[in-house]
Amino acid sequence: MEKFNASIHYDKRMWREDVQGSKAYVKAIQKVGLVTEDECKLILSGLEKVADEWECGKFEIKETDEDIHTANERRLKELIGITASKLHTGRSRNDQVSTDMRLWMKNALPELGAEVQNFMSVIITRAKQEIDVLMPGYTHLQRAQPIRWSHWLLSYGWMLKRDIERMLGLQTRVSSLTLGSGALAGNPFPIDRKSLATDLGFMEVSGNSLDAVSDRDFVAEFLFWASMLGTHLSRWAEDLILYSSKEFGFVTLADAYSTGSSLMPQKKNADSLELIRGKAGRMFGHCSGFMMTLKGVPSTYNKDLQEDKEAMFDVYDTLLGVIKVATGVLSTLKIYGDKMRQALSPEMLATDIAYYLVRKGIPFREAHGLSGMCVALAEKKQCPLSSLSLEDFKSVSEEFTDNILSIWNYEMSVDQYNVYGGTGKESVTAQIENLQSWLEQLQYR
């Protein structure tokens, strides 16, 4: 049972935050006379030694150490004696572990955010450099309309922007001090929780001790946030897996991010992208699993909540690796603009025929039907849409004039979508500028 109950093998990762919280707490209880000034200094000195041992890899975990809190307190008592027993006055492991986790996440989120920023910067840089490359846009995995390669890149830039914005909201909600809530009823001594929050860098103090000791909303939200970001990266990876296949041939991954087959020497597998796609499922598994844990937990602290940390740590580690690999893939990716252009076909401009008629005053639904008749005519004649003659077009509608033959220009087609958010060059340039400006002004809490 002791082994089953213990969490030290994974929550030791929070040794720094546990020491940090204890330092702030001993100062708080010293201010209200629960320890003397000399005792406070002795405890602070002992905590420094505990931290040094962790930092140097010399801290010895013992079988009796159930978790990081008992391990640190045990070692503190070995170093300074009975005075260490005063540190826990008014404090419970319930509010202590919550505080440690919040401190840990407050430090972890900006690290992840910085990696997402790096990835976005690569997207923006490539979008600038490759803005004139055209490619097919797809719906239902069918060729739909011509777009700019940069527009595809930036579509994921906007997803990542939303991901960072969600993370900033999470940063605010995680920045709530739960220390001072005790086991469940609160702290019986008049400690200044607002001052304690300031010392530890929290924006506010929790408002209800029963809620505070069992609140794991921030963990669930982190797991969802990571799952959503992982889903965006998985979709990005799936696109590139397709684009790198022989059937598309639009891109090639650098050798550092692909592998060969153990049997078929002609193959180059996009393992990096497949792992990104696969690890999205791993992260969401943690998210859904932890939500199932939470739904049955009665009010205040219950041991079920010990399941929070392994999920939190594994998702953090997984996501950090995923983002770094994704950045490396995109930084070294080779594109083939000529093959992208070769994949464009006149049929992809069928909607442009409808727009041509709309500009002549024909209602869109009618214009759409006439455009479909042109497509059907080309299929009947077994020729590309662009090979239809003026007479062919006039057989469908007298509204067609000789300038219909000038619409078979992919650049002109793409650049008609210059309303903001579209794939026209002006719009894509504006997207690049706006995302770049947003990144430059981004600040973490």
Evaluate whether 50 touches 84 at the Cβ level (below 8 Å): no
Determine the Cα–Cα distance for residues 444 and 171; give it in Å rounded to an integer.
8
Q: What angle do CA 283, 286, 290 make, to 5 degrees?
A: 150
Q: How far apart are CA 395 and CA 374, in angstroms?
A: 9
Cα torsion 341, 346, 351, 353: sign: positive
Distance in angstroms (rounded) separating the CA atoms of residues 278 and 293: 23
Distance CA 394, CA 407 (A): 15
261 catalytic? Reply is yes
The secondary structure element, H or E, covering residue 371 is helix 364-381
- 61 Rama sector, left if φ>0, alpha if ψ -120 to 50, beta otherwise: beta
Q: Please give the Cα distance from 263 to 282 (Å, whole number).
A: 28
345 is catalytic: no
- Say if residues 279 and 320 touch (Cβ distance below 8 Å): no
Which residue among the candidates 45, 261, 386, 387 is catalytic per the annotation?
A: 261
Active site positions, annotated: 140, 261
